[in-house]
A and B are shown apart, each in its own frame.
Chain A
Amino acid sequence: MKKNFRKYSILILTVCMGLQACDKGFEEMNTNPNASATPTPAFVFTKALLDGSGDVLNLLQGTMQYTTSYNDVAGFGAKYILSQSQQSWTVFNNAYPKEINEIQQVIGQVSGSPDQVNLLSCARIWRIYCFSRVTDLYGDVPYSQAGKGFESANYKPVYDPQQAIYADMLKELDEAAAAIDPTKANFGAADLIYNGDMAKWKKFSYSLMLRLAMRMTKADIALAETWAKKAIAGGVITVDADVAKVSGYVSAGQDINKNPLALAMLNSDYIGANGSSNPEGGKFQDVFINYLKTNKDPRLGVLSVVWVGGKADTTAATQKGMSSSLSSKPANFVTYSEPNPATILQLNSPYLLLTNAETSFLLAEAALRGWYSGASASASYVNGISASMRQWSLFGAGGTISDNQIQTYIKYHSLNTAGTFASQMEQIYTQFWVGVYPNSQEVFASYRRTGYPALVPNNYVGNATGGKIFRRFLYPATEQNLNGENYQATIARQGPDEFLTRMWWDRP
Chain B
Amino acid sequence: MTNKSLSFHLLCKALVKIIIFTVIFSVCFTITQAKNISAQDLKTRISLRVVNMPVKDVLRQINKETKISFVFSNSIVTNQEVSLDVKNEQLGLVLKKIFEPLGMDYSISGNVILIDKKVTTPTEITSQKVAPIKVSGKVIDNAGAALIGVSVKIKGSSSGTVTDVDGHYALTVPDENATLIFSYMGFVTQEVAIGGRPVVNVQLVENRNSLNEVVVTALGISRQKKALAYSVTEVKGEEFTQARENNVANALTGKVAGVNATGLSTGPGGSSRVIIRGNGSLSGGNQPLYVVNGMPIDNSVPGGSATTNGSAGNVDRGDGIAGINPDDIESISVLKGGTAAALYGARAANGVILITTKKGRIQKGIGIDYNSTFTMETPAVFPDWQYEYGQGDGGVKPTTQAEAIQTGRRSFGAKIDGSTYVAADGLEHPYSAQRNNIKNFYRTGSTFTNTVAFTGGTEAITYRFSVADLNSKSVLPNSDYDRKTGNLNVSGKLGKKVSFEALAQYNIERAKNRATAGDALGNPNWTPYMIANTADITWLKPGYDAKGNEIGWNDASIASNSYFVVNKFQQRDTKNRFIGQAGVTYEFIKNLSLKGVVSRDFYYYNYNYILPTGTLYVPNGQYNELKVDASETNGLLTLNYNGKIKDFGISAFVGGNQQRSVYNESNITGANYIIPYFYSSTNLSTVSTTPKNNQTAINSLMGSADISYKNFAYLTVTGRQDWFSTLSPQNNSIFYPSVGGSFVLSEAFKLPQAVSYAKIRASWAQVGGGAPDPYQIHQAFTMLPTSGQPIQNVSSTTISNANLRPYTSTTTEAGIEARFLNNRLGFDITLYNRKTTDDIVSTAITGTSGYNNVILNVGELSNKGIEALVNGTPIKTKDFTWSTSYNIAYNKNEVVKLAAGLDQIQVSQSVNGWAYINNIVGQPYGSIVGTRMMKDANGNVVFNATTGLPVATGLQTLGNGVAPLTMGFSNDFKYKRFSLNVLVDGKFGNKIFSLMEVYGTRLGLMKTTLPGRENGLQLTGVDQSGNPYSRVVPISGLRSYYDNYKSYSELFLHDAGFVKLRQVILSYSIPVEKLKAVNLQGASIAFVARNLLTIYKQTDNFDPESSFTNGSSQGFESFGLPRTRSFGLNLTVKF
Contacts and interface: CB of A to CB of B under 8 A. Distances in A.
Given A16-B701, A252-B685, A279 B1044 contact: no
A307 to B, nearest CB: 15
A400 interface: no
A329 B845 contact: no
Interface residues of B, number: 114
Contacts of B793: 44, 47, 98, 102
B850 A328 contact: no
B346 interface: no
Contact of B781 (A38, A46, A257, A280): A38
Nearest to B701: A16
Contact of A47 (B639, B671, B784, B1040): B784
Contacts of B12: 13
A477 interface: yes
B685 A29 contact: no
Given A35-B780, A481-B955, A92 B847 contact: yes
A19 interface: yes
A310 interface: no
A492 interface: no
A30 B639 contact: no
Interface stretch (B172-180, B432-440, B908-916): B908-916
Interface string A474-488: 001111111100000
A4 B640 CA distance: 12
Given A19-B699, A35-B780, A254-B787, A96 B557 contact: no
Interface in A106-122: none
Q: Which of A9, A93, A280, A483 has most B Cβ within 10 Å?
A: A9
Contact of A12 (B655, B792, B918): B655
A163 interface: no
Contacts of A479: 846, 848
Contact of B11 (A16, A150, A189, A329): A16
B901 A156 contact: yes
B1008 interface: no
Contact of A461 (B779, B906, B1040): B1040
A230 interface: no
A279 B617 contact: yes
Contact of A33 (B641, B693, B696, B729): B693
A276 B875 CA distance: 75
Contacts of B532: none
Contact of A254 (B686, B947, B954): B686
Interface stretch (A140-148, A376-384, A424-432): A140-148
A141 B785 CA distance: 32
B1040 A83 contact: yes
Contacts of B25: none
Nearest to A35: B780
Given A22-B699, A462-B1043, A483-B848, A30 B775 contact: yes
B850 A83 contact: no
A82 B697 contact: no
A100 interface: yes
B849 interface: yes
Contacts of B777: 30
B849 A147 contact: yes
A31 B658 contact: no
Nearest to A11: B639
Nearest to B654: A12
A255 B693 CA distance: 24
Interface stretch (B54-62, B118-126, B400-408): B400-408
A29 B696 contact: yes
A23 B723 contact: yes
Nearest to A38: B781
A482 B845 contact: yes
A157 B846 CA distance: 8
Contacts of B656: 12, 15-16, 19
Interface in A253-312: 253-257, 267, 271-272, 277, 279-280
A93 B912 CA distance: 13
Nearest to A100: B850
A396 interface: no
A421 interface: no
B19 interface: yes
B794 A102 contact: yes
Contacts of A8: 592, 594, 639
B903 to A, nearest CB: 9
B851 A150 contact: yes
Contacts of A4: 589, 592
A466 B947 contact: yes
Contacts of B403: 328
Q: Which of B8, B784, B788 has most A Cβ within 10 Å?
A: B788
Contact of B847 (A31, A81, A93, A255): A93
Contacts, number: 302
Given A8-B639, A328-B406, A16 B15 contact: yes
Interface string B19-30: 100010001000
Interface residues of A, number: 103
B789 A190 contact: yes
A86 B619 contact: no
Interface string B852-866: 101000000000000
Given A35-B795, A39-B781, A478 B906 contact: yes
A233 interface: no
Contacts of B901: 155-156
A12 B723 contact: no
A154 interface: yes
Nearest to B8: A21
Nearest to B620: A271
Contacts of B929: 481
B1027 interface: no
A466 B848 contact: no
B4 A21 contact: yes
Given A29-B696, A44-B793, A254 B785 contact: yes
A73 B1043 CA distance: 12
Contact of A32 (B616, B685, B774, B848): B774
A493 interface: no
A37 interface: yes
Interface in B785-818: 785-795, 797, 799-800
B643 interface: yes
Contact of B783 (A19, A29, A43, A97): A43
Contacts of A466: 946-947
Interface string B649-693: 000001110100000000000010000000000000110100111
Contacts of B691: 34
A250 interface: yes
B10 interface: yes
A52 to B, nearest CB: 12
Nearest to A83: B1043
Contacts of B697: 25-26, 29
Contact of A146 (B556, B699, B848, B906): B848
B844 A482 contact: yes
A97 B797 contact: yes
22 contacts: A12-B655, A16-B15, A23-B733, A34-B782, A35-B775, A36-B783, A43-B791, A46-B788, A47-B784, A72-B555, A82-B1044, A93-B847, A156-B901, A248-B788, A252-B787, A255-B671, A256-B786, A257-B787, A277-B619, A279-B557, A462-B1044, A479-B846
State the 9 A-B residue pairs at the shortest beta-carbon distance, nearest first: A253-B787, A462-B1040, A149-B849, A35-B780, A101-B850, A147-B850, A43-B792, A21-B7, A328-B406
Interface of A: 1, 4-5, 8-9, 11-13, 15-17, 19, 21-27, 29-40, 42-44, 46-47, 50, 71-73, 81-83, 86, 92-93, 96-98, 100-102, 104-105, 141-142, 146-150, 153-157, 189-190, 192, 248-250, 252-257, 267, 271-272, 277, 279-280, 327-329, 331, 461-466, 476-483, 500
Given A5-B641, A149-B851, 14 more contacts: A4-B589, A9-B15, A13-B12, A34-B693, A39-B794, A44-B781, A82-B949, A83-B1044, A92-B847, A97-B847, A142-B848, A156-B845, A271-B620, A481-B918
